[in-house]
Structure 1
Amino acid sequence: MTFKTIRLDIDAVDTVIKVIGKGPTVLALHGAATIEGQEWARGLADRFRVYLPFHPGFGESGPAPHICGMQDLIVHNLRLIASLGLDRPHLVGHSMGGWMAAEIAAVAGERFARLVLNAPAGLNHPDHPSTDLRQVAPQDMPHYLAHRTEIAAQYFPGGSLAPPPEQFIAAREKEGNALKNIQKAHGMGHPNLGRWLSRIPNETLIVWGDRDRVALAGQAELWAGAIPKARTLIVSGVGHFAMQEDPVCVTAIGDFLAA
């Protein structure tokens, strides 16, 4: 099964979406970089048609210098699903994409079916501080992203799944600039996000690796306690790249969406 590529103009932003699989629709939102790729979605493709857009300024999508906060991405994604003609897709978000998915569901949850938040960013609770990856040395980054360092190391220069070093560096620079635009309003989160979560009407699964060194798994109960129809899945022995480290995570997500 291969990925299909769709290219759309969304408010003058060249937006690229990868699509794989057949079945009920899933919209999957990536995190603050595209280092780990999209191969994990093959684990859902036998049961679902998965749409994986690159956010503006990330991956293969074009730049969007007008973006000045997460709210611009919320509007972008709502227009994206309208352009794609998606009818109440399931919504899945990882890390920054989880924050994005949570805000989308808080304002337009009725337009989606089920919601999965995998180690979502954005809550910024003082008792559960996240790691500022800008302060992590490049050679240490795989250790923070996966409990089994060799899993994350595959995606970095010299790894078996990494592009040539010059392409890797150019992609990180491009995505770093796009991330700065998202952070202009409130940084990596929103001070009122916790107040909004009670508006989410969707059945929700919170997935977290118990060895996550980027966003500590203790946050999971905060999210689950604030979202009315939420449950948690804490996966043993995996880090922030939970879906890449253990296929059990992807299978569990598929089972939840299919329920």
Structure 2
Amino acid sequence: MTVQFETSEYEIGGVHTVVKAIGKGKPVLFLHGAATLEGFDFAEGLSDRFRVYCPSHPGMGYSGDAPHVSGSMDIIIHYLNLLDAMDFPEKPHLIGFSMGGWLATELAAVAGDRFDRVVLLAPAGLNDPDHPATDLGSIAPQDLPGFLAHDPKVALQYFPDGSDPAFAEKFGADRAREGETVGRICAPFGMGHPNLSRMLARIANPALVVWGEEDRLLPASQMPLWVEQLPNGQALLIEGTGHLLLQEQPDSVTKIGDFLAGQTP
């Protein structure tokens, strides 16, 4: 059964910005990773308690092109402007996954007063040499599903299987478009910021860092580095799970919802 989202559209600084939303309750803003191939269906697991808003980054997913983007700050400004346009009646929670975790960190560091609780899911951005991320360029395309999920079948469902040439063509075009945008976001410093650990100290919000124990892209050994720098941070390690932890372990969505609701995850 296909998850039914409501769609809103905004013009933000000349960028046609599409936001998918589901559920009722306190708002949650979700920032996706460096691709949108897995979609937003996980949000259904939060929809009984929260109204989850899933925008596509400028130049990615459902949103329009953004040729002006030349670094993460352009994305931060975009989301500050989007928050103004959406005009939530109360402070939303903020969730960021992978690259979106890096962007959520910068966003919360400069505008933490605009959010309630913060959740960082296998966040990118620290680039600690003792806990290196896997170089995506070193992964053969056929091996990528095994790096995205501990059980490759979880990731394979989002990839072309050869049965639908039109889907395969669109998949390739979408990944190329998103990859070009990600390249411009990462142009100044790579996937992250050299002072990101210093930014974490500014995030006074209650924060939860979640990681899949078997993450082959961003090692879970990074998790303490994040939690130690967050003034009100705590950790949640998901066993037997890779990078796509929301898709591979649906129970993690419930635990994240518990944290957002003020309960112990």
Shorter-chain TM-score bucket reads over 0.9
Number of aligned residues: 259
Pick from 125, 128, 133 the counterpart of residue 128 of structure 2. Answer: 125
Partner Cα distance (2:164, 2:131) in 1: 32
Following superposition, the deviation at residue 77 of structure 1 comes to 0.5
Instruction: List per-residue Cα deviations over 1:153-202 (Å, max 9, x = no partner).
Output: 00001189997100100100110111111011111110011111100010
Partner Cα distance (2:163, 2:120) in 1: 28
C-alpha contact 1:129 1:216 (8 A) present in aligned 2? yes
Partner Cα distance (2:4, 2:247) in 1: 18
- Within 5 A, what are the aligned runs for 1:1-259? 2-86=4-88, 87-158=90-161, 164-259=167-262
AA of the residue aligned to 1:59: G
Partner Cα distance (1:11, 1:157) in 2: 34
AA of the residue aligned to 2:35: A
Residues 1:203 and 1:2: Cα distance change in structure 2 (over 3 Å): same
C-alpha contact 2:162 2:168 (8 A) present in aligned 1? no
Residues 1:71 and 1:3: Cα distance change in structure 2 (over 3 Å): same
Partner Cα distance (2:97, 2:62) in 1: 18
Residues 1:54 and 1:161: Cα distance change in structure 2 (over 3 Å): farther
User: Where does the alignment leave 5 or more consecutive residues of structure 2 unmatched?
Assistant: none
Partner Cα distance (2:153, 2:86) in 1: 37
User: Where does the alignment leave 5 or more consecutive residues of structure 1 unmatched?
Assistant: none
| TM-score between both structures, scaled by the size of structure 2 | 0.95
Partner Cα distance (1:257, 1:159) in 2: 40
C-alpha contact 1:224 1:232 (8 A) present in aligned 2? yes
C-alpha contact 2:61 2:178 (8 A) present in aligned 1? yes
Superposition CA RMSD, Å: 1.5
Q: Between 120-129 and 163-172, report the one with greater CA deviation.
A: 163-172
Following superposition, the deviation at residue 133 of structure 1 comes to 1.1
Q: Identity, % of aligned pairs? A: 54
Instruction: Please identify runs of 4+ aligned residues in structure 1 that moved more than 4 A.
Output: 159-163
C-alpha contact 1:20 1:41 (8 A) present in aligned 2? yes
Partner Cα distance (1:258, 1:12) in 2: 35
